[in-house]
Amino acid sequence: MPPETSESMNVSKPLEGKVALVTGASRGIGLAVAKSLSTMGAKVGLNGRDEKKLAIAAEELTEAGGSVAAVSADLSHSTDIAPLVRKVQESLGPIEILVNNAGIGYFGPVHEASEENWNMTLDTNLKAVFLVSKAVIPGMIRLQTGHIINIASLAGKSAFAGGAIYCASKWGLLGLTQCMAEDLRPHGIRVSAVCPGSVNTEFSPHAGKDPRKMLQPEDVARVVETIVTQEPQSFISEVSLRPTQKP
């Protein structure tokens, strides 16, 4: 076999030298995305609330040869966000890829929900995306390049009983994503939304659904791979992802 050239190495590691921050990265979709970006050569900042799960995720990526910085932070607390971004950048360098994945689900009749349910869901699923992005964007503007990928949901497009608060957070996230994309296009920063249907994770109840027919976290990660390896003259603004069969 011919020796591997630098060009072929770049093809196998298309994100070599780039820094990514993935929120909600200790499990599920976030962990799958973090693994994928690391395999593609990126240095990855991992964020999560559970320090033990985050440490396990970081060890897994490190043992696979990745360069990782794990920072525990609760993104529903706005005071946690600036230190998170600062620590990742001090450890790994300027952030060029941000995957806003952290999220929670509240499901129940709207008239039975509390103000606390509303605040916790919107603060985590929507406000945190605004604040983390706002903390990262100035560095991307200096670089005149960057990807911001917001993990939304088909719940941001479809109503269902018991989904009022969660749907509100995801509908708002899609609106935020589209407007951010317009604001940041002049700076070479591409902003995208990924809208998966039911994914086989611990995130939300899936009573009566066949997990074998559901989307897997790796399916979402593959979409993220596609987004961050686009040619520079275009960007994928939104992807709706559904399972082949209804679970």
**Exposure on the CB side of residue 230, measured as CA atoms within 13 A:** 20
What is the identity of the amino acid at 170? K
Cα–Cα dist 121/117, whole Å: 6
Cα–Cα dist 134/81, whole Å: 10
Residue identified by tokens 């899936």 is 206
Cα–Cα dist 167/75, whole Å: 19
Spacing of C-alpha 34 from chain mean position? 9
Local structure of 47: helix, strand or coil: strand
Length of the chain as a residue count? 247
Spacing of C-alpha 235 from chain mean position? 17
* Annotated catalytic residue within 19, 35, 75, 166: 166
Whether 166 is a known active-site residue: answer: yes
Spacing of C-alpha 184 from chain mean position? 18
Q: Which two tokens stand for residue 172?
A: 């708002």
What is the identity of the amino acid at 64? A
* Phi, psi (rounded to 5 degrees) for 234: -145, 165
210: left (phi over 0), alpha (psi -120 to 50) or beta: beta
Q: Annotated active-site positions, please?
A: 166
